Chains A and B, each alone.
Chain A
Amino acid sequence: MSDFAASLATAASLIVEVEPRLVQTVLLSMQVSGTATLIGASLGLGFGAWLAVARFPGHAVLVGALNTMLAMPSVVLGLVVYLLLSRAGPLGEWGLLFTPTAMVIAQSLLVVPLVAALARRLVLSALAEGGDQLSSLGAGPLTRAALLLAHERYGVLTVLLTAFGRAIAEVGAVMIVGGNIDGVTRVMTTTIALETSKGDLPLALALGIVLLSVVAVLNAVIGLLQWRQQGRGAPAEAWA
């Protein structure tokens, strides 16, 4: 138990001291995962919405494959991206390995299936409620999907937060494609892994607490925005 107490104290002092290297590492984590979430959102929302309304032979197979991708271990994905971006691989000329860009690519690939699967669910349930009426207004299938995504925008926000959480918490992919280079591709999770392997467990735990605190603040800010939006004459939609 003393380990936990020591870590909490360390975490508090780390946050208060605002040490530049720690700040840089946190910022890099947020930027990499944030960018990956945005990319995942733009690709995943459209794909998920399309999957909810499209009908073609093999549709069920595609949905099954998508759901399987949800269980993709991040380290396996990292390995695949590594082999693609390695100089010895097909995309080696781009010289992206061991850069933050490679980390963004890996995390985007991790996040797209998640966003797509959840968006599909969101659109399907909204379609059950209002798809018919939108159809009677003259909306085609893709338009219905897009309108319902806009209609369910708080649900979409939750999906994006989930995706961001998945991205910022993973270590396997960014470790392999980023190389955990000090000052260049070292993010919070890889730093925690490094400190753990160096045997400095209290520090590793403290860094974990710092990471969680940062994400908690982000969630609180978004929750506050949602609450203020809903305060303007909207019904009590729960934290969707």
Chain B
Amino acid sequence: MKELQGAARSALASLRPPLVTLRNAGVRYGPQQALQGVDLTLRRGDRLALVGANGSGKTTLLRLLHGLPGAGGVQGERVAHALTAESGETRPCRFAMLYQRPFLLNFSVRWNVLVGLWLQRPPGMDGPARAARCHRALERVGLASLAARRARTLSGGQQQRLALARAWALAPDVLFLDEPTASLDPGAKREVESLIAEFADDGVTLVMSTHNLGQAKRLATRVAYLEAGRVLADLPVDRFFRGDELPEPARQFLRGELPWTT
């Protein structure tokens, strides 16, 4: 009997469980309704891209999914689901966020990663274990040789890689990215994108806001289009870029951004 239960549980776990569910959710900043009527479920393994013009509510939706306290009032329902391991234990979902311009403390590269570990105190990690995890994270993003350098002396691309290392070290379940490559030159953009793709391959769920549709095509498995605080379309990536299922505003947006799509 126990074996059957174990098998059932692993079968369940291998499906894509929901991580965050939004039902008729909205965010209001004073008189402004930044987001409204959003029904969206984020599942494990999703690589969701949020696209839309500036001010369409991408960042607000990102933060709402993350659960970051904002200045606005939240309406509707947001549920963050707990995760169940094969052993049956549950734990809450872990989130990490990457910003367009990462804020790095005026200390060394290494220390900036350690701060994250120190703040979140992953249990069972003592000082040496944290140092080891930090080193692995820096190696992963290719910054291990710069570990002692002052973080603020790094180039834009290197700083974003450091932010990725900081996020990776925390072993998040979901990585939120708010226009992560918008400020980078093409070379750095490629480096960061490939790292993000690696993270997704490792099993991290991605939610990324971008106005670079090429990036959405390259990295996402699912694309949602926002306009004026509403989610007008939410489709798998191929169907999204085919264009025929899209409402007119979304199609126009595509046309504006990528002239060679219908």
Contacts and interface: CB of A to CB of B under 8 A. Distances in A.
Q: Do chains A and B touch in the complex (CB under 8 A)?
A: yes
B238 to A, nearest CB: 32
A147 interface: yes
Interface of B: 66, 68-69, 96-97, 99, 102-103, 105-107, 115-116, 119-120, 149-150, 152-153, 166, 170
A136 B149 contact: no
A146 to B, nearest CB: 11
A58 interface: no
A233 interface: yes
B103 A234 contact: no
Given A143-B119, A151-B105, A151-B106, A136 B152 contact: no
Given A147-B105, A234-B153, A235-B153, A135 B69 contact: yes
B120 A133 contact: no
Given A138-B119, A147-B115, A130 B68 contact: no
User: Chain A interface secondary structure, helix, strand, loop or mixed?
Assistant: helix
B11 to A, nearest CB: 33
Interface in A122-146: 129-130, 132-139, 143
The 7 A-B residue pairs with the shortest CB-CB distance, nearest first, are A130-B103, A133-B103, A136-B97, A138-B119, A151-B105, A151-B106, A138-B120
Interface residues of A, number: 20
A234 B152 contact: yes
Contacts of B170: 137
Contacts of B119: 137-139, 143
B201 to A, nearest CB: 24
A150 B170 CA distance: 22
Interface in A83-137: 129-130, 132-137
